[in-house]
Structure 1
Amino acid sequence: MAWVYLFVAAALEIGWAVGLKYSHGFTKPLPSVLTVVAMVLSLVLLAMAVRTLPIGTSYAIWTGIGAVGTAVLGIALFSEPVTAWRVLFLLLIVGGIAGLKVTA
């Protein structure tokens, strides 16, 4: 169950990171509230996951999934640039996440 908590926490991290963009510096009420709720839930689920999973592995996976997911949504939603280097480094993060999962 800890892995489920961790992956949902990571998905919520993506949500709050993208929510920061939509909240326009916390000036828009609904996106701001949703962003803060996602932040809190993400941290609570991460805390639940680290009850049984190693903190180093959990945190690295949480931030890695959040970084990759946020970058992908930045490309899809906000027309951020797609370059070969960016894709390569995102794939390296994914490889690191997979390696941590396999060895945990």
Structure 2
Amino acid sequence: MDWFLLIIAGFCELGFIAFVSKAQSSGKRWYSLIAMAFVLVSITILSIVTKTVPLGIAYAVWTGIGAISSVAYGVLVLKESFNWLKGLFVLMIIAGVVGLRLFGEG
């Protein structure tokens, strides 16, 4: 259950990124408020998860999910460029997150 919550917390980072982007492009303050709500939920869930998952592993997984989802959002929604090097580094983040999940608690 804790790993599921950690994944939810990571994807709340995507909500934060999406609404910060909306706030910047539109100038509407309520997008900023929604972004702040997403980041508060994300950090709250992260703090709950760290009671059972080691802090270093939880933080690395949380930031990894946030980084990967923000790259995907940038490429798919904001039409940012994507090349093989960017893809390689995203795969390296994924490998690190999976490795920490598989071998980090031993």
| Whole-Å separation in 1 of the counterparts to 2:61 and 2:69 | 12
- 2:29 maps to a residue whose letter is P
In structure 2, the gaps of 5 or more residues are none
- 2:15 maps to a residue whose letter is G
Question: Is 1:58 equivalent to 2:49 in the alignment?
Answer: no
In structure 1, the gaps of 5 or more residues are none
Asked if the contact 1:26–1:32 (Cα under 8 Å) also holds between the matched residues in 2, the reply is no
Report the RMSD for the aligned CA atoms in angstroms.
1.5
TM-superposed CA distance for 1:17, in Å, is 1.6
Question: Is 1:7 equivalent to 2:2 in the alignment?
Answer: no
The within-5 A match list for 1:1-104 is 1-24=1-24, 27-103=27-103, 104=105
Against the structure 1 CA distance between its residues 16 and 26, is the aligned structure 2 distance closer, same or farther, given a 3 Å change threshold? farther
Q: Identity of aligned pairs, percent?
A: 29
| Whole-Å separation in 2 of the counterparts to 1:73 and 1:27 | 20
TM-superposed CA distance for 1:2, in Å, is 1.4
- Structure 1 residue runs of 4+, over 3 Å off? none
Aligned positions, number = 104
| Whole-Å separation in 2 of the counterparts to 1:31 and 1:65 | 22
TM-superposed CA distance for 1:32, in Å, is 1.2
TM-superposed CA distance for 1:3, in Å, is 1.0
TM-score with structure 1 setting the length:
0.94
TM-superposed CA distance for 1:26, in Å, is 8.9
